[in-house]
Each structure stands twice: as structure tokens, then as C-alpha cells.
Amino acid sequence: MWIWIIIIISSIWVYLDAKNLGMGKRLKYTIEDLNRMDKAEAEFDVDVSKKSETGPLGWAFASLLIWIIAFPAYLYSRYKFKQKIKVSSEKICPFCAEKIKAAAIVCKHCGKSVGK
């Protein structure tokens, strides 16, 4: 009996966590973000902007039906998704080569303008 309670609670957590992370949605960029990226960054970020294959409801149902496989798969997918989000929100300052946020106009490390 207790194993079913664990499966149900973890499936609910999977649904809420996936929904909170935005899995199943496209990661979007503004026109300004795309204009600031050089060609190599834009080509790399095309992969990040693709739609995630499995949404929150899909992960929750999979976790309910085949928990022993789907729950570890979700945890791995969650890790990879968070890595993609982290990579897409950072860029390298062309002057000091430090990581800064993609929307930054001035580098917090060297103080030089990196925006338009």
C-alpha cells in the first residue's frame, strides 16, 4: 500500500515540477537577443529553442504507469533541461571573457558596454 502512495505523490511532484520549469514549452528569445548573438551563438541556441518533447502531463502519466523507469528518466531529463536553460541565459563578454547574463548591456566584471 505504501508504495502506491509514494508513486502517486512522486507523480504529482513530477507534474508540478515540470510545469514550473516550463518543460513542453518553447524557450523564446526577443528580437534584441537574436540581434546581439553572433552567428555561432545563434546556431547553437536554435537547438535550445526547440520544443521539449514531453510536457508535464506526459511525464506525470508515465510516472504513474511505469514509475520505476519514468521517474529516473524524468530526473535525468530535468537535469538536461536545466542545463539548456542555464546555457541560453549566459554569454561571454568579448572584452574580459567572463560569463554574463544574455540581456546584460554592461559587463559587471570590466564595466565595458556589450550591448547595442
Model pLDDT for residues 35-61, shown as the tens digit of each residue: 555 544 444 444 444 454 688 999 999
- pLDDT for 47: 45
Please give the share of the chain, as a percent, with pLDDT higher than 70.
Answer: 72
- pLDDT for 95: 87
- Point out the least confidently predicted range of 22-31, 67-76, 84-93: 22-31
Domain-located, residue 103? no
Domain-located, residue 109? no
> How many domains does the chain contain in total?
1
3-state secondary structure the chain: CHHHHHHHHHHHHHHHHHHHHCCCCCCCCCHHHHHHCCHHHHHHHHHHCCCCCCCHHHHHHHHHHCHHHHHHHHHHHHHHHHHHHHHHCEEECCCCCCEEECCCCECCCCCCECCC
Q: Confidence band (pLDDT; 50, 70, 90) for 23? A: confident
- Is 34's pLDDT higher than 90? no
Domain with 29, as residue range(s), is 2-89
Please give the share of the chain, as a percent, with pLDDT higher than 90.
Answer: 30
What pTM, to 2 d.p., does this model score?
A: 0.58
- Is 20's pLDDT higher than 70? yes
Domain-located, residue 108? no
- Is 105's pLDDT higher than 60? yes
